[in-house]
Amino acid sequence: MSDATPQPKGPLGRFLALPTDSVPKTVFVAVMLCLVASMFVSAAAVALRPLQEVNKLIDKQVNILQVAGMYEPGVDVVEAFGVFEPQVLEIATGTFTDQFDAASFDDRAAASDPALSVALDDDPAGIGRQSKFVTVYLLRDDAGGIDKVIMPIHGYGLWSTLYGFIALEENGNDIFGLQFYQHGETPGLGAEIDNPRWKALWPGKRVADANGELQIHVAKAPNASGADYHIDALAGATLTSVGVNNLVQFWLGETGYASFLANLKSGDIS
Ligand SMILES: Cc1cc2nc3c(=O)[nH]c(=O)nc-3n(C[C@H](O)[C@H](O)[C@H](O)COP(=O)(O)O)c2cc1C
């Protein structure tokens, strides 16, 4: 007498004949689930990338508006940002260049492009490479003269690179504001650089003294240059404060915007 139950044929047949809660079938379902889920996540990441780029750009524009004292919640950011005149600045000469389109020039990409940047031996800001070109934003008064300049700054804090902007008055020496829009410092400690009370210490401070010497400093107490050039270091976050001091001095000194600020003061840039 022969067995009535037909035996499954081939590996697929044997697999399908296994009980639903068998180990091979459980592993198979888990793997398929992972594959399908990862396909959805990848597709979402790719589809959302353009939106992320737009949001990043809007966030940067909000920060430029804020540091220039022109941001109001609910404002149409793109329209409000239209008042700024972006210019690509050649750092070495402190003059504007039309080699690049200022509206789309990517400072960060330039900083990692060997053709557009230099490796720093002396690197107090901890940035590794410095772009030879950066985008600065001019705000003009009704007569068409420069009212404020907004310049990008960045450098290492304690845990992360801090990216921000500093706004100066038309004389290239009086600080209107400073703001960081990206960093990874610790909330409640280094991240207090975002605290409006700390940011309020910056307006009215000066960059250089009457002899043109760079004097601005972030420290626990003013140095010999006096209070006009001193910003209080953050309590409990001395290391982030040291980073801010280093990067501000790097960008506002000879290694950064000194030539540009001299051109502003002399009226060679208007
Ligand atoms: C978990 C943790 C996170 C910290 N984050 C920061 C920070 O973001 N920035 C900073 O300057 N110090 C930070 N500190 C403190 C520093 O280690 C250091 O104590 C502090 O900068 C000294 O500042 P003070 O001289 O004002 O006390 C952190 C400490 C710990 C334990």
Domain ranges across the chain: 10-44, 73-266
pLDDT value for 4: 64
Smallest CA separation from ligand 1 atom 2, residue: 186
Instruction: Tokens 């960093």: give the residue.
Output: 183
Nearest ligand 1 atom to alpha carbon 241: 11
- The one-letter amino acid code at 102 reads A
Smallest CA separation from ligand 1 atom 3, residue: 186
C-beta neighbour count of 194 within 10 angstroms: 15
Q: How far apart are CA 192 and CA 158, in angstroms?
A: 13
Sequence-distant (≥ 6) Cβ neighbours of residue 44 within 8 angstroms: none
- Please compute the mean of the pLDDT values over residues 30-41 and round it to a whole number: 95
Residue 151 contacts residue 263 (beta carbons within 8 Å): no
Lowest mean pLDDT among 1-10, 64-73, 206-215, 255-264: 1-10
Q: What's the chain's length in residues?
A: 270
Smallest CA separation from ligand 1 atom 5, residue: 186
Residue 113 contacts residue 133 (beta carbons within 8 Å): no
Smallest CA separation from ligand 1 atom 14, residue: 237
CA of 240 to the centre of ligand 1 (A): 8
pTM, full prediction? 0.85
Which residues, in sequence order, are bridge partners of residue 168?
149, 175
CA of 238 to the centre of ligand 1 (A): 7
- Please compute the mean of the pLDDT values over residues 68-90 and round it to a whole number: 94
Which residues, in sequence order, are bridge partners of residue 164?
153, 180
Q: Is it the case that residue 2 has pLDDT exceeding 60?
A: no
Q: List for the chain the helix, strand, coil content (%; round to 5).
A: 35, 25, 40
DSSP code of residue 190: G
Nearest ligand 1 atom to alpha carbon 185: 8
Smallest CA separation from ligand 1 atom 27, residue: 236
Q: Which helix (H) or strand (E) holds 59?
A: helix 23-67
Q: How far apart are CA 92 and CA 201, in angstroms?
A: 30
Q: Is it the case that residue 127 has pLDDT exceeding 90?
A: yes
DSSP code of residue 229: G
pLDDT value for 3: 55
Nearest ligand 1 atom to alpha carbon 243: 11
β 230-232/217-219 pair status: parallel
- List pocket residues of ligand 1, CB cut-off 6 Å: 158-159, 185-186, 189-190, 235-240
CA of 158 to the centre of ligand 1 (A): 8
| Cα–Cα nearest to 258, from 186, 7, 218, 266 | 266
Residues 6-26 pLDDT 10s: 777 888 888 888 888 999 999
